[in-house]
Amino acid sequence: MLRPSRCVLAGVAAILMTAATGAVASEPEDCQLATPEAQRVAAVLASGASTPYRGTILVEYSGKREFVAVEESGATGQLTLRHLNRAANAAPEVRQINSLPARTPCLLANFYGFSIDSGQIVAGRETYRLSIRPKDTLRLGYVMDVDRATDVPLRVLTLTPEGQMLERFEFAQFEPLEVRPPFPRQKQSIQQPSMGFGLATLPPGFRVINSGISPVEYWLLSDGLAAMSVYVEPRAQTVKPGEGVVVRGATLTYTKGTIEQTQVTVVGEVPVTTARLVAEAVRSSEAP
């Protein structure tokens, strides 16, 4: 479905877009985070909606490395990526930043553990370190060195639930642009009633934030940090029932062909266990 390099760049874009969550709601009284930690996490979550920038990123995964020019454009809410190792004057790839659901740090703390420490110098800038540890095996972990001036993550390690590194990206050059008001969040249109399939259950903490029927039926799921796309389409006669997994960096592509001639594909920064749970939850709306 996606070329390996596109999968990895989709993962990088997802990390940069994680901050595009809009306004952070007020915290519940029984928050599991100390106030300084909650404030730092909230600042990182909000930075992508208010801090445009440009720079060059080094991406490393599976023994490969690539330099990518990136620019978060500002008012349009778009992220432009350009591969610098692929070809001279490579054409840019433009990604629309779709806001993830606004989750408060305290709500995220139900599924992740957070800690704040001193960070390293990245792209000549001072950082603080935000470590994010999953509390179950359904999510990945992150270690972020975050710019002290803008709260934008400048270095990110993506880890398995057991702590093994899957992918690293790091700004070699980072230039914040003029600060702007947060761009308007796009209204998500859920078309679930018109779909031929549905999701019987969801992994804890995840919810449907968008869905549609073109070109195939799909859902976008998120827990506020992690995100995955789920696609349902007819299974080709040449494809046998069963499952397949492709991992490129932190991005997983999981495909399941069913005996009912349906193919389910899950793409996202989640462990295979989570992708399998979601694929197995797909049900025909005509099923009893």
Domain boundaries, the chain: 4-176, 192-284
pLDDT in tens, 48-99: 767 889 999 999 998 899 999 999 876 566 788 998 988 888 888 888 766 6
pLDDT of 183 strictly over 90: no
Q: Does 9 score more than 60 pLDDT?
A: no
The least confident of 3-17, 184-198, 244-258 is 3-17
Joined tokens for residue 222: 């998120």
CB 240 within 8 A of CB 257: yes
Nearest to 217 by CA among 186, 191, 235: 191
Given this model, what pLDDT does residue 260 score? 75
Q: What pLDDT score was predicted for residue 10?
A: 54
pLDDT mean over 191-203: 78
Mean pLDDT score of the chain, rounded to an integer? 83
In the structure, what pLDDT confidence band is assigned to residue 12 with cuts at 50, 70 and 90?
Answer: low
Residue 216 CA to residue 231 CA, distance in Å, equals 7
Residues 6+ apart with CB under 8 A from 29: none
172: Cα within 13 Å, side-chain hemisphere: 12
DSSP 8-state class, residue 46? H
Confidence of residue 166 (pLDDT cuts 50, 70, 90): very high
Q: Is the pLDDT of residue 137 over 50?
A: yes
- Predicted confidence band of residue 104 (pLDDT cuts 50, 70, 90): confident
Model pLDDT, residue 178: 79
8 Å CB contact between 285 and 198: yes
The pLDDT, as a whole number, for residue 7 is 46
Q: Please report, rounded to a whole number, the percentage of residues in the chain having pLDDT higher than 70.
A: 78
Architecture of domain 192-284: 2-Layer Sandwich (3.30)
pLDDT value for 27: 47
What is residue 65's three-state secondary structure? strand
pLDDT of residue 196: 86
- Which range has the worst mean pLDDT, 32-41, 158-167, 211-220? 32-41
* Total residue count of the chain as it appears in this document: 288
Q: Which of 226, 258, 223 minimizes the C-alpha distance to 239?
A: 258
4-176 and 192-284 share one fold: no
Architecture of domain 4-176: Clam (2.50)
For residue 273, pLDDT over 50 is answered with yes
What single DSSP character describes residue 145?
E
CA distance 139 to 132: 10
Angstrom distance (rounded) from CA 249 to CA 193: 35
